[in-house]
Amino acid sequence: MCGIIGCVGHKNAKKTLINGLQALEYRGYDSAGISYFASNMIKTIKTVGKVSCLREKVSAAGKEEATCGIGHTRWATHGGVSDTNSHPHTAGRVTLIHNGIIENYKELQDELEEKGKKPISQTDSEIAAMVIDDCYKGDPEAAIRMAVSKLEGAYGFCIMFSDIPETIYAIRNGSPLVAAHTDKGSLVASDMVALVSHTKHYFVLKEGHIAKMTRDEIIVKDETGEIYSPHIHHIGWDMAAAKKGGYDYFMMKEIHDQPTALLNTIRPRMVDGLPDFSADEVGDDIFENINRILITACGTAMHAGLIGRNMIERLCRIPVTVEIASEFRYQDPIMDEHTLFITISQSGETADTLAALRLAKERGAKTLSVVNVKGSSIARESDYVLYTHAGPEIAVASTKAYSVQLSVMYLIALRLALVIKKITEAEASDYMTKLMETVDKVEEALGYDTQLENIAKRIARNDDIFFLGRGLDYALSCEGSLKLKEISYIHSEAYAAGELKHGTISLITDNVPVIAVATQPDVFAKMISNVQEVRSRGAKVILVTGPDASVDAALCDHQVVLPDTDPLFTPFVSVVILQYLAYYVAVEKGLNVDQPRNLAKSVTVE
């Protein structure tokens, strides 16, 4: 939520900042702004709208040279979308950008107002700038330290002081910040997509540490003021991975990235044909003496958890609960050292998931995270990490991250089943072969685009769309429905097909589209009965089945016949169909697929 970037020493700082903001735009796109040193003064240009509007405004402002500046792309929390509420914010000698929420801003504002200091915006971020300025008596680090001791909430700040040219200070709590030094100068940003065109080497600024960034170096100090040498990470992907690669939208590119992402995630964990986490340093002891598993995540990642639960319970016969992270921590959850607590997160920074993880650790559970972004907070704070190798996911709607999360959940289920002897090596090896074969089926499903585009045109004008499924197909339908509603703005819900008659069926009337996913042989007949029920109430039915399904032509308006896949593995393939459907409906409606309204990619506030 909100993208931030800072650079010092770069010849054309304004260009570096704006290009970086363009890459970070998926984190928020309500407004954008930059501040930079020019002629020994801090100048600010900001505007409502996307980074392209800022780019125009900056170029209209002329060719003033700058080598140090900060930039922000906003997802509004406190205060509406306006130029005044856009970042950067200036208070006295302090100019800052902020990602996060200052929860006690009102009390701080009251204190400042008692001193006669009034904000001009409605944002919590301006209050943070005012607090730092209020504490500033010539020593920037002391001022930042004193100010953050008064702040409650989450923040990633980049701060410039008008009397300290060519220098940026950064500090964070909760919100992510990565930094890098190259021969051209220093850089800091919310994530590496903004910096990858400059360097592949970076470090994660630890919570509470202050980074002082100049042309020549970055000095990091810990909470006690001691100099700290951060661990340098290397990213395994390049600029091409963070570009659209000829597709109209990142989402479409990322749908097509899925076979490669799956192979990159599964292959390193297949040793002699068996699931194996030794290279991840996840020993089998993590699976020993556990009597339950708790999976916690948000949104799409939580949906991957639902499929994971199905697989783990099926193969391992260990009870698994899946909880939405934002609810979990307020339920006084029961956990102990026999609980394996799994968090799933693409960004590794989702505030609710991170808070749930911290609670699980406090209560003594063993923690394992499935994370895409290396070195992210969730990855660092978990006892064990299994990284997914999707590369950067830029579209707000998650696609490839979901598929690779599924693959890791399958690997966990298989390894655990093997360790606790619920399956033999021969069976595990057979499952692994099927998992690898599924990747080819995903590739085949990518060829269904035209069919789905045609179906999408027929449902894009409807106000409500329902998804139905049973078992794995129900869990998958939850993801299909989320995908559709978040980018097409069509109201959509997923239902367990057996639940229909308990109320939901009253919503089914003439021409209401129902996407029925019926790939599971054990519940196929029951699914078909449920489809009959909606059909006889006038529903427009799109039926997704395996190739062996025998279906009466009158039962549906369209049948999507999946490539021949083992039923246990169909979610990998069916999800491509549902991703395509959501994508083409949004395109048909002329919407910005990659940047749906009101959303942001990485939700770093609770």
Catalytic residues: 2, 601
SS3 260: helix
- If we measure between CA atoms, which residue out of 479, 395, 385, 399 comes closest to residue 442? 399
> Cβ–Cβ contacts within 10 Å for residue 26, how many?
24
Applying CB under 6 A, the span of 201-209, 260-268, 340-348, 531-539 interacting with ligand M6R comes to: 340-348
Shorter beta-carbon distance to ligand M6R: residue 304 or 459? 304
Q: From 455, 481, 462, 445, select the one nearest 559 (Cα to Cα).
A: 455
The torsion angles phi and psi of 362, rounded to 5 degrees, stand at: -55, -35
Selected range binding ligand M6R among 165-173, 238-246, 359-367, 390-398, rule: CB under 6 A: 390-398
Among 85, 214, 264, 300, contact with ligand M6R (rule: CB under 6 A): 300
Binding mask 474-493 for ligand M6R (x = CB under 6 A): --------x---x-------
318, 585, 603, 605: residue in contact with ligand M6R (rule CB under 6 A): 603
d(CA 158, CA 150): 17
Report, in Å, the least distance between residue 281 CB and ligand M6R.
Answer: 22
Size of the site for ligand M6R (CB under 6 A): 16
As a whole number of angstroms, the distance between CA 571 and CA 224 comes to 50
Tokens encoding 205: 């600024």
Binding of residue 353 to ligand M6R (CB under 6 A): yes
Query: Which of 296, 346, 388, 481 is close enough to bind ligand M6R by CB under 6 A?
Result: 346
**What's the closest the beta carbon of residue 355 comes to ligand M6R, in angstroms?**
12
Distance, CA of 598 to chain centre: 15
CB of 600 to ligand M6R, least distance (A): 9
Span interacting with ligand M6R, options 5-13, 171-179, 293-301, 560-568, rule CB under 6 A: 293-301
CA–CA separation, 99 and 78 (whole Å): 12
b (16+ CB within 10 A) / e for 81-96: eeebbbbbbbbebbbb
Q: Smaller CB distance to ligand M6R: residue 97 or 394?
A: 394
The DSSP output letter for 125 is H
Taking CB under 6 A as the rule, does residue 350 contact ligand M6R? yes
The count of residues in the chain is: 606
**Closer residue to ligand M6R in complex, CB, 134/594:** 594
| Least distance in angstroms from the C-beta of 163 to ligand M6R | 39
- Count Cβ atoms within 10 A of the Cβ of residue 219 and give its class: 0-12 exposed, 13-18 middle, 19 or more buried: middle
Q: Are strands 210-213 and 320-324 parallel, antiparallel or unpaired?
A: unpaired
CA-to-CA distance for 2 and 18, rounded, in angstroms? 14
Residue 301 sits in the site that holds ligand M6R (CB under 6 A) = yes
Both structure tokens of 108: 């701080």
Is residue 388 a contact point for ligand M6R (CB under 6 A)? no
Residue 385 interacts with ligand M6R (CB under 6 A): yes or no: no
Q: How far apart are CA 15 and CA 34, in angstroms?
A: 10
* Cβ closest to ligand M6R, residue 488 vs residue 602: 602
Which of 347, 407, 477, 565: binder of ligand M6R (CB under 6 A)? 347
Nearest residue relative to ligand M6R (C-beta):
299
Q: How far apart are CA 520 and CA 109, in angstroms?
A: 58
345 binding ligand M6R? (CB under 6 A): yes
With H, G, I as helix, E, B as strand and everything else as coil, classify residue 520: coil
186 versus 347: smaller Cβ distance to ligand M6R: 347
Determine if 562 is a binding residue for ligand M6R (CB under 6 A). Answer: no
Q: Which stretch binds ligand M6R (CB under 6 A): 194-202, 227-235, 298-306, 535-543?
A: 298-306
Residues forming the site for ligand M6R (CB under 6 A): 298-301, 345-347, 350, 353, 396-398, 482, 486, 602-603
